[in-house]
Structure 1
Protein backbone atom coordinates (compact mmCIF):
# COMPACT_ATOMS: atom_id res chain seq x y z
CA UNK A 1 0.00 0.00 0.00
CA UNK A 2 2.79 2.44 0.94
CA UNK A 3 4.75 1.55 -2.23
CA UNK A 4 1.68 2.33 -4.32
CA UNK A 5 1.26 5.73 -2.63
CA UNK A 6 4.98 6.55 -3.05
CA UNK A 7 4.78 5.55 -6.71
CA UNK A 8 1.79 7.85 -7.28
CA UNK A 9 3.51 10.72 -5.42
CA UNK A 10 6.64 10.19 -7.52
CA UNK A 11 4.67 10.23 -10.76
CA UNK A 12 2.88 13.42 -9.69
CA UNK A 13 6.19 15.15 -8.78
CA UNK A 14 7.83 14.14 -12.09
CA UNK A 15 4.72 15.26 -14.02
CA UNK A 16 4.72 18.66 -12.30
CA UNK A 17 8.44 19.02 -13.03
CA UNK A 18 7.90 18.28 -16.73
CA UNK A 19 5.02 20.77 -16.94
CA UNK A 20 7.14 23.48 -15.25
CA UNK A 21 10.10 22.86 -17.58
CA UNK A 22 7.87 22.95 -20.66
CA UNK A 23 6.22 26.15 -19.40
CA UNK A 24 9.61 27.82 -18.92
CA UNK A 25 10.89 26.59 -22.26
CA UNK A 26 7.93 27.63 -24.42
CA UNK A 27 6.25 30.57 -22.64
CA UNK A 28 7.32 33.65 -24.66
CA UNK A 29 7.78 36.03 -21.73
CA UNK A 30 10.25 33.58 -20.18
CA UNK A 31 12.37 33.43 -23.32
CA UNK A 32 10.74 30.59 -25.23
CA UNK A 33 11.55 30.28 -28.94
CA UNK A 34 14.15 33.07 -29.11
CA UNK A 35 16.05 32.63 -32.36
CA UNK A 36 19.57 33.77 -33.19
CA UNK A 37 18.05 36.40 -35.48
CA UNK A 38 15.98 37.73 -32.55
CA UNK A 39 19.11 37.89 -30.38
CA UNK A 40 21.11 39.72 -33.06
CA UNK A 41 18.31 42.25 -33.61
CA UNK A 42 18.06 42.84 -29.86
CA UNK A 43 21.82 43.32 -29.56
CA UNK A 44 21.73 45.85 -32.39
CA UNK A 45 18.93 47.85 -30.70
CA UNK A 46 20.49 47.96 -27.25
CA UNK A 47 23.97 49.37 -26.86
CA UNK A 48 24.10 48.43 -23.15
CA UNK A 49 23.71 44.71 -23.88
CA UNK A 50 27.17 43.30 -24.61
CA UNK A 51 28.31 39.67 -24.69
CA UNK A 52 25.02 38.48 -23.18
CA UNK A 53 25.20 40.84 -20.16
CA UNK A 54 23.54 44.19 -19.42
CA UNK A 55 25.94 46.98 -18.47
CA UNK A 56 24.96 50.18 -16.69
CA UNK A 57 25.03 53.44 -18.59
CA UNK A 58 28.50 54.93 -17.89
CA UNK A 59 27.07 58.45 -18.38
CA UNK A 60 25.00 58.13 -15.17
CA UNK A 61 26.62 58.76 -11.80
CA UNK A 62 25.31 56.76 -8.84
CA UNK A 63 24.64 58.11 -5.33
CA UNK A 64 27.89 56.41 -4.34
CA UNK A 65 29.74 58.83 -6.64
CA UNK A 66 30.72 56.00 -8.97
CA UNK A 67 29.72 55.45 -12.58
CA UNK A 68 26.86 53.02 -13.17
CA UNK A 69 29.02 50.59 -15.15
CA UNK A 70 28.39 47.35 -13.24
CA UNK A 71 31.22 45.76 -11.32
CA UNK A 72 30.85 43.25 -8.50
CA UNK A 73 32.90 45.25 -6.03
CA UNK A 74 30.51 48.23 -6.36
CA UNK A 75 27.48 46.51 -4.80
CA UNK A 76 27.95 48.22 -1.43
CA UNK A 77 28.58 51.97 -1.19
CA UNK A 78 31.69 53.19 0.56
CA UNK A 79 30.57 55.24 3.53
CA UNK A 80 27.12 56.41 4.52
CA UNK A 81 24.67 57.70 1.93
CA UNK A 82 23.45 61.19 2.97
CA UNK A 83 19.72 61.41 3.67
CA UNK A 84 17.61 64.53 4.24
CA UNK A 85 16.06 63.99 7.67
CA UNK A 86 12.42 65.01 8.11
CA UNK A 87 11.37 66.10 11.60
CA UNK A 88 7.65 66.10 10.96
CA UNK A 89 5.24 65.81 8.04
CA UNK A 90 2.32 68.18 8.17
CA UNK A 91 -0.94 66.70 6.96
CA UNK A 92 -2.07 68.18 3.65
CA UNK A 93 -5.20 70.30 3.54
CA UNK A 94 -8.34 69.00 1.81
CA UNK A 95 -7.61 70.88 -1.42
CA UNK A 96 -3.85 70.19 -1.39
CA UNK A 97 -1.85 67.43 -3.09
CA UNK A 98 1.55 66.39 -1.68
CA UNK A 99 3.91 63.61 -2.61
CA UNK A 100 6.80 62.71 -0.30
CA UNK A 101 9.49 60.32 -1.48
CA UNK A 102 11.28 58.43 1.31
CA UNK A 103 13.72 56.60 -0.94
CA UNK A 104 13.75 53.63 -3.31
CA UNK A 105 10.05 52.81 -3.87
CA UNK A 106 8.69 54.09 -0.53
CA UNK A 107 6.60 57.24 -0.72
CA UNK A 108 3.53 58.91 0.71
CA UNK A 109 0.80 60.63 -1.25
CA UNK A 110 -1.38 63.14 0.55
CA UNK A 111 -4.60 63.70 -1.37
CA UNK A 112 -8.01 65.00 -0.31
CA UNK A 113 -6.91 65.07 3.34
CA UNK A 114 -5.86 61.39 3.28
CA UNK A 115 -2.38 59.89 3.69
CA UNK A 116 -1.58 57.00 1.34
CA UNK A 117 1.65 55.18 2.23
CA UNK A 118 3.02 53.27 -0.76
CA UNK A 119 5.45 50.35 -0.60
CA UNK A 120 6.86 51.20 2.83
CA UNK A 121 10.32 49.91 3.72
CA UNK A 122 11.14 51.28 7.15
CA UNK A 123 13.10 48.36 8.55
CA UNK A 124 16.87 48.02 8.66
CA UNK A 125 16.66 45.41 5.88
CA UNK A 126 15.41 45.56 2.30
CA UNK A 127 13.42 42.38 2.79
CA UNK A 128 10.40 41.34 4.83
CA UNK A 129 12.62 38.58 6.25
CA UNK A 130 15.63 40.24 7.98
CA UNK A 131 18.10 37.37 7.70
CA UNK A 132 17.59 37.08 3.90
CA UNK A 133 17.86 40.65 2.60
CA UNK A 134 20.79 43.05 2.81
CA UNK A 135 20.96 45.77 5.46
CA UNK A 136 19.91 49.25 4.43
CA UNK A 137 22.69 51.58 3.26
CA UNK A 138 21.24 54.75 4.81
CA UNK A 139 19.35 56.00 7.83
CA UNK A 140 15.57 56.28 7.71
CA UNK A 141 14.46 59.67 6.37
CA UNK A 142 11.97 60.07 9.25
CA UNK A 143 11.41 58.43 12.62
CA UNK A 144 8.28 56.29 12.57
CA UNK A 145 6.94 58.20 15.60
CA UNK A 146 6.95 61.41 13.51
CA UNK A 147 4.90 59.93 10.64
CA UNK A 148 1.35 61.24 10.31
CA UNK A 149 -1.51 58.77 10.66
CA UNK A 150 -1.95 56.59 7.57
CA UNK A 151 -5.39 56.28 5.97
CA UNK A 152 -4.45 53.86 3.17
CA UNK A 153 -1.53 51.44 2.95
CA UNK A 154 -0.52 50.30 -0.54
CA UNK A 155 2.02 47.47 -0.67
CA UNK A 156 3.71 46.26 -3.84
CA UNK A 157 3.89 42.50 -4.40
CA UNK A 158 6.65 42.56 -7.07
Structure 2
Protein backbone atom coordinates (compact mmCIF):
# COMPACT_ATOMS: atom_id res chain seq x y z
CA UNK A 1 0.00 0.00 0.00
CA UNK A 2 1.32 3.44 -0.90
CA UNK A 3 2.47 5.72 1.90
CA UNK A 4 0.77 8.89 0.64
CA UNK A 5 -2.35 9.77 -1.33
CA UNK A 6 -0.25 11.61 -3.91
CA UNK A 7 1.31 8.27 -4.86
CA UNK A 8 -2.13 6.78 -5.55
CA UNK A 9 -2.45 7.97 -9.12
CA UNK A 10 -4.32 6.23 -11.93
CA UNK A 11 -1.30 4.04 -12.65
CA UNK A 12 -0.94 2.53 -9.18
CA UNK A 13 -2.33 -0.90 -8.37
CA UNK A 14 -3.85 0.44 -5.15
CA UNK A 15 -5.88 2.99 -7.09
CA UNK A 16 -7.42 0.25 -9.23
CA UNK A 17 -8.16 -1.91 -6.18
CA UNK A 18 -9.99 0.95 -4.41
CA UNK A 19 -11.78 1.93 -7.63
CA UNK A 20 -12.99 -1.62 -8.21
CA UNK A 21 -14.13 -2.22 -4.64
CA UNK A 22 -15.40 1.22 -3.61
CA UNK A 23 -15.80 3.22 -6.80
CA UNK A 24 -12.87 5.53 -6.07
CA UNK A 25 -10.49 6.69 -3.38
CA UNK A 26 -11.75 7.45 0.13
CA UNK A 27 -11.78 10.91 1.68
CA UNK A 28 -8.25 12.20 2.18
CA UNK A 29 -9.45 14.25 5.15
CA UNK A 30 -10.79 11.21 6.99
CA UNK A 31 -7.82 8.91 6.26
CA UNK A 32 -4.36 10.50 6.32
CA UNK A 33 -2.78 7.87 4.06
CA UNK A 34 -3.64 4.74 2.07
CA UNK A 35 -2.11 2.73 4.92
CA UNK A 36 -4.53 4.35 7.39
CA UNK A 37 -7.38 3.37 5.10
CA UNK A 38 -6.04 -0.18 4.83
CA UNK A 39 -6.19 -0.44 8.64
CA UNK A 40 -9.79 0.81 8.53
CA UNK A 41 -10.59 -1.88 5.95
CA UNK A 42 -8.98 -4.48 8.21
CA UNK A 43 -11.43 -3.49 10.95
CA UNK A 44 -14.20 -4.20 8.40
CA UNK A 45 -12.79 -7.65 7.57
CA UNK A 46 -10.93 -6.70 4.37
CA UNK A 47 -7.20 -7.32 4.31
CA UNK A 48 -4.45 -7.10 1.69
CA UNK A 49 -1.72 -9.75 1.81
CA UNK A 50 1.43 -10.41 -0.19
CA UNK A 51 2.81 -13.77 -1.24
CA UNK A 52 6.23 -12.50 -0.16
CA UNK A 53 7.11 -9.82 2.36
CA UNK A 54 10.65 -9.59 1.01
CA UNK A 55 11.33 -7.31 -1.94
CA UNK A 56 12.18 -9.54 -4.91
CA UNK A 57 13.01 -6.74 -7.35
CA UNK A 58 12.07 -8.04 -10.79
CA UNK A 59 12.66 -11.70 -9.99
CA UNK A 60 9.89 -14.15 -10.79
CA UNK A 61 8.65 -15.81 -7.61
CA UNK A 62 9.99 -19.35 -7.27
CA UNK A 63 8.97 -22.00 -4.73
CA UNK A 64 12.54 -23.30 -4.66
CA UNK A 65 14.62 -20.12 -4.88
CA UNK A 66 12.42 -18.10 -2.51
CA UNK A 67 11.42 -20.91 -0.14
CA UNK A 68 12.39 -18.98 3.03
CA UNK A 69 10.46 -15.89 1.88
CA UNK A 70 7.39 -17.99 1.10
CA UNK A 71 7.60 -19.86 4.41
CA UNK A 72 7.64 -16.51 6.23
CA UNK A 73 4.63 -15.33 4.22
CA UNK A 74 2.70 -18.54 4.91
CA UNK A 75 3.26 -18.05 8.63
CA UNK A 76 1.62 -14.62 8.37
CA UNK A 77 -1.02 -15.35 5.72
CA UNK A 78 -2.32 -18.86 6.40
CA UNK A 79 -4.25 -18.11 9.62
CA UNK A 80 -5.93 -15.17 7.87
CA UNK A 81 -6.67 -17.10 4.67
CA UNK A 82 -8.17 -20.03 6.57
CA UNK A 83 -10.68 -17.68 8.25
CA UNK A 84 -11.50 -15.75 5.07
CA UNK A 85 -14.81 -16.06 3.27
CA UNK A 86 -13.53 -14.62 -0.02
CA UNK A 87 -9.98 -14.45 -1.38
CA UNK A 88 -8.85 -12.58 -4.49
CA UNK A 89 -5.58 -13.92 -5.88
CA UNK A 90 -3.80 -11.31 -7.98
CA UNK A 91 -1.23 -12.44 -10.50
CA UNK A 92 -0.46 -15.58 -12.47
CA UNK A 93 1.63 -17.59 -10.03
CA UNK A 94 0.08 -16.41 -6.78
CA UNK A 95 -2.29 -19.35 -6.24
CA UNK A 96 0.55 -21.82 -6.61
CA UNK A 97 2.59 -20.20 -3.83
CA UNK A 98 0.11 -18.45 -1.52
CA UNK A 99 -2.76 -20.77 -0.68
CA UNK A 100 -2.61 -23.41 2.02
CA UNK A 101 -3.86 -26.73 0.69
CA UNK A 102 -6.88 -26.63 3.00
CA UNK A 103 -8.56 -23.68 1.20
CA UNK A 104 -11.66 -24.70 -0.77
CA UNK A 105 -11.73 -23.75 -4.46
CA UNK A 106 -14.96 -21.76 -4.13
CA UNK A 107 -13.40 -19.31 -1.65
CA UNK A 108 -11.04 -17.67 -4.11
CA UNK A 109 -11.16 -15.75 -7.35
CA UNK A 110 -8.15 -15.70 -9.65
CA UNK A 111 -7.54 -12.22 -11.03
CA UNK A 112 -4.85 -10.53 -13.06
CA UNK A 113 -2.58 -8.25 -11.07
CA UNK A 114 -4.22 -4.79 -10.75
CA UNK A 115 -1.26 -3.01 -12.37
CA UNK A 116 -1.77 -1.37 -15.76
CA UNK A 117 0.98 -3.61 -17.18
CA UNK A 118 -1.22 -6.66 -16.58
CA UNK A 119 -4.08 -5.01 -18.45
CA UNK A 120 -2.04 -4.97 -21.66
CA UNK A 121 -2.10 -8.76 -22.00
CA UNK A 122 -5.85 -9.26 -21.47
CA UNK A 123 -7.82 -6.04 -21.09
CA UNK A 124 -11.25 -7.71 -21.13
CA UNK A 125 -10.54 -9.93 -18.10
CA UNK A 126 -8.69 -7.09 -16.33
CA UNK A 127 -11.69 -4.75 -16.83
CA UNK A 128 -14.12 -7.38 -15.49
CA UNK A 129 -12.22 -7.45 -12.19
CA UNK A 130 -10.57 -4.03 -11.81
CA UNK A 131 -13.10 -1.79 -13.58
CA UNK A 132 -15.21 0.73 -11.65
CA UNK A 133 -17.10 -1.05 -8.79
CA UNK A 134 -16.55 -4.51 -10.32
CA UNK A 135 -15.40 -6.23 -7.11
CA UNK A 136 -17.81 -4.58 -4.71
CA UNK A 137 -20.48 -7.27 -5.04
CA UNK A 138 -17.93 -10.01 -4.38
CA UNK A 139 -16.46 -8.72 -1.14
CA UNK A 140 -18.87 -6.23 0.42
CA UNK A 141 -21.36 -7.90 2.74
CA UNK A 142 -24.97 -7.40 1.69
Shorter-chain TM-score range: under 0.3
Higher strand share: 1
Structure number with the bigger relative contact order (C-alpha 8 A, sep ≥ 6) is 2
User: Of the two, which has the highest radius of gyration?
Assistant: 1
Structure 2 length-normalised TM = 0.23
Structure 1 length-normalised TM = 0.21
Higher helix share: 2
